[in-house]
Amino acid sequence: MKIKKAKEELEEIRLAEREIVEALIGNYRTVLKNLDDGGPAQEALAKAAAMTAEAVKALDGLDEAAPVEEVARRLGGEVSPAVLALAKAQLVQAGGLGAVTKAVEVFGGFAGQYERIEKVAAHHGNFWEVLLYGQLGRDRSVMFDLAEKLEFTTTSEDGRVLAALAHAMRHESARGEYISALGEHGKQIDISFATQNWRKAVLDKTRPGRFARKHFEAMVFTHLAEELRTGDVAVVSSEEYADWSEQLLAWEDIQEKLADYLVEVGLCEEGEASAFDAGSFRRQLEDKLRGAAAAADAGYPDNEGLVIAPETGIPSLKPHRSEGQRPSAKRLEQEVKARMPERTLMGIVARTAYWVEWWRRFGPPSGNDPRLKDPFGRYVLTTFVKGTNMGPYEAVRHIPGVSRHELSYVANRHFSIALLNEAVADLVNVHARLDISQAWGDGTAVAADGTHMDTYLNNLLAETSVRYGKAGGIAYHHISDTYIALFTHFIPCGVWEAVYIIEGLLKNTSEVKPTTVHADTQGQSVPVFALAHLLGFDLMPRIRNWKGLTFYRPSKQSSYVHIDSLFGEPGRHVIDFDLIESQFRHLMKVAVSVREGAISSSTLLKRLRSGSHKNSTYTAFREVGRVICTVQLLRYLTDAPLRRRVTAATNKVESFNRFSQWVGFGNQGVLADNDPIEQEKAMKFNALLTNAVIFHNALDIAEIVRQLLEEGWEIDPEDLAHISPYLTEHIKRFGEYSTHELGIQPGPYDPKLDVDFTQLRDRDLRAEGFGTAA
């Protein structure tokens, strides 16, 4: 106890000392400002010097440039003692002030002292804004050059940031510490858009009508970057930073499509679309939220897996203990693995190309038939070389009869991102028609997640990822519940992954059309929840950290017996349904425009990521997203099988990431191309090859099951569901790659399997941890 008190006393002394130091620093700053150029001390000194000059001039017979000492010596007896004393006092005062100024210069000068004071002040008061210019200073000329070359426009009626930018550009050549705060027409520049800290850094009470130049520039460029990110400022003729609202379809075009759209995405039943309006949409969301909250409240006493802390309202979920595989499932898996025939990657690519004919998707940009002696062989070889990330230079060392030029030419001229997407979709479609795929899912669910890919540092997309802790890019995959990859993106590390959750679903051209999408914690985003709902997708990410999540009430009067603490204080965190109803037309305009491809979902979500108070679209999406997010959180808390399905789905996509990297073993997994388009193509090649292996493995597993059935085995579909097609032990990756398998045409494959999978649809089998890598 005594030690604790001693430590507390020491901490109090430290706090008091810090307060004293902060006060002294503040006082020192005030003294410096008084002594510095433009301060009262320097002004007084200048006035005194002028008065002395006038006195000297008044004395006849002396040189005007004579120093005060000479005046006093030569006229000592002829001048009044009072005047002499005054002259001497003026001399002492000037010398003393000069000594103080000289001392400041020895310590680093006024500018250096101000910089050190600001660093200390920022440390004590979390005042980082005053330090930012030191980071931006070296890029000042570049930022001004960009501002001069780009044409900015505001997407709302608020143009304060652009007005401040214009003012900064007018004073670009200034080098003083302060610039005028008045614009071209003598009116004060409005900086009310800035935070209190920024205004504190820019404004100085001792210099009214002036801005601290360096801090003003840092403030302007900081807010310009933020408004570009949120879409409040656009760049004319830009693709990435265009005014996205101009890309939306006109309301007249929306009205023609709206009825069919509402039915298609499940917002209303057929025949009800004509009567579905803003009020209907509002009531639908209200009922959804009230129903989910009421169900969670009623089921809480029986929900053994959920505990809500009464003091904080933070929920916690007891971990699910999986029973693991049944002995029969382990036996079946071991038998299947033991019987898997030895394969080569080259042979797998060739056989799937014969069966599915995905290779016919490729060709020259003109659309004409390829002028190649053997297009089948060339396209299969190119897919193998690029899909394994081996590259043409390494490939010629291991594949006889090919040249680097041939492989590079075909990959560059005959393969495009769009054609690769079509080939991937071909494999997805045939995989979905296999009976055995029903053991793993029905295609209605998909999981999305990214995995880090190493790249060379000297390219436009290479960034250091906070999530992965190293430089490179991200391969973002959408993986079906049947294990196959529906769509793949390559995105920079600095991009928020959640914006691509919806994009992959919309760009999926296969026959597999999932309606439920799972994601890792990256998917917990209010705008993404809103857009997913408006497009007819059920977004259910994995939830981990409950501490920072907010539950929203349907109304201020809503209260609950068991779960009320989840929603925080009564009357707070209430959905603004009036806002939702008033913005219904705009919500539909955005959603239909995205569905029709007028604007990409990733472009939209990048602009809706932050809390822009100027953007009515953001506020509308925010409220809808809060409704859907709260509903999904309540579902997640109350539905244990749902939690297991989400976990299984996210585990499956993580297993795919490892499997695709196993397939893309070349160049130690590093993408060797610095061109963003070629990097995207590399991801598509890898997805195509990986899907080919998955499809081929599924056929081999099905054939082994047929053999076991003929031998008298009883195959339980629940046991078969445990076997992943991500099998690798039977596949040869290394050595010399023979091309003789390209000329061996396989017999037809059998998609049928005499196993009844219908019972799986009524069980919660996919929630039991399926999807782990084999």
Do 633 and 625 touch, CB atoms closer than 8 A?
no
Query: Does residue 453 sit in helix, strand or coil?
Result: strand
Burial of 735 (0-12, 13-18, 19+ CB in 10 A): exposed
What pLDDT does 653 receive? 94
Query: Does residue 476 sit in helix, strand or coil?
Result: strand
Q: Give the range with max mean pLDDT: 91-95, 566-570, 733-737.
A: 566-570
Question: Rounded CA gap, 330 and 324, in Å?
Answer: 10
* pLDDT category of residue 765 using cuts at 50, 70 and 90: very low
Query: Does residue 502 sit in helix, strand or coil?
Result: helix
What pLDDT does 674 receive? 82
Do 268 and 276 touch, CB atoms closer than 8 A?
yes
Section 543-550 average pLDDT = 86
For residue 769, pLDDT beyond 50: no
Question: Rounded CA gap, 493 and 475, in Å?
Answer: 10
Do 424 and 691 touch, CB atoms closer than 8 A?
yes
User: How long a stretch of residues is the chain?
Assistant: 774
Q: Give the range with max mean pLDDT: 120-124, 305-309, 659-663, 667-671.
A: 659-663
pLDDT in tens, 709-750: 999 999 999 999 999 999 999 999 887 778 888 888 999 999
Question: Rounded CA gap, 765 and 757, in Å?
Answer: 11
What pLDDT does 61 receive? 56
For residue 388, pLDDT beyond 90: yes
* pLDDT category of residue 431 using cuts at 50, 70 and 90: very high
For residue 45, pLDDT beyond 80: no
Which letter does DSSP use for residue 766 in this model?
T
Section 57-70 average pLDDT = 58
pLDDT in tens, 260-288: 999 999 999 988 988 999 999 999 999 99
Do 422 and 448 touch, CB atoms closer than 8 A?
no
Burial of 429 (0-12, 13-18, 19+ CB in 10 A): middle
What pLDDT does 767 receive? 44
Distances 207 to 176, 184, 186 between C-alpha atoms, Å: 13, 19, 17
Do 426 and 358 touch, CB atoms closer than 8 A?
yes
Burial of 270 (0-12, 13-18, 19+ CB in 10 A): exposed
Share of the chain above pLDDT 70, in %: 79
Which letter does DSSP use for residue 471 in this model?
E
Section 604-610 average pLDDT = 75
Looking from the CA of 366 toward its CB, the CA atoms found within 13 Å total 4
Section 441-465 average pLDDT = 81
Whole-number average pLDDT of the chain: 84
Section 8-12 average pLDDT = 55
Query: Does residue 656 sit in helix, strand or coil?
Result: helix
Q: Specify the DSSP element, H or E, that contains 381.
A: helix 375-387
Number of helical (H) and strand (E) elements in the chain, helices listed first: 27, 15
What pLDDT does 773 receive? 38
For residue 49, pLDDT beyond 70: no
* pLDDT category of residue 760 using cuts at 50, 70 and 90: confident
What pLDDT does 472 receive? 82
Section 612-641 average pLDDT = 90
For residue 122, pLDDT beyond 50: no
Do 551 and 568 touch, CB atoms closer than 8 A?
yes
Residue type at 343?
A: R
Pairing status of strand 471-480 against strand 445-455:
antiparallel
CA 665-352-444 angle, 5° bins? 85
Question: Rounded CA gap, 382 and 96, in Å?
Answer: 83
| 537 Cβ contact partners less than 8 Å away, ≥ 6 residues apart | 502, 505, 514, 515, 516, 517
pLDDT in tens, 123-179: 455 677 887 888 787 889 999 999 999 999 998 888 999 999 999 999 999 989 999
Section 510-517 average pLDDT = 96
Compute the CA torsion angle 21, 25, 28, 34 (nearest 10 deg): -150
For residue 768, pLDDT beyond 50: no
Do 40 and 28 touch, CB atoms closer than 8 A?
no
Q: Give the range with max mean pLDDT: 122-136, 357-371, 494-508, 681-695.
A: 681-695
What pLDDT does 282 receive? 97
Task: Look at residues 441, 445, 419 and name the one whose alpha carbon lies nearest to residue 431.
Answer: 441
Of residues 628 and 42, the one with the higher pLDDT is: 628
Distances 444 to 265, 505, 511, 604, 628 between C-alpha atoms, Å: 14, 12, 11, 25, 20
Section 394-419 average pLDDT = 90
pLDDT in tens, 191-250: 999 999 999 999 988 889 999 999 999 999 999 998 888 888 999 988 888 888 888 999
For residue 620, pLDDT beyond 80: yes
| 661 Cβ contact partners less than 8 Å away, ≥ 6 residues apart | 451, 669
> What pTM, to 2 d.p., does this model score?
0.78
Residue type at 384?
A: F
* Distance of alpha carbon 71 from the chain centroid: 76
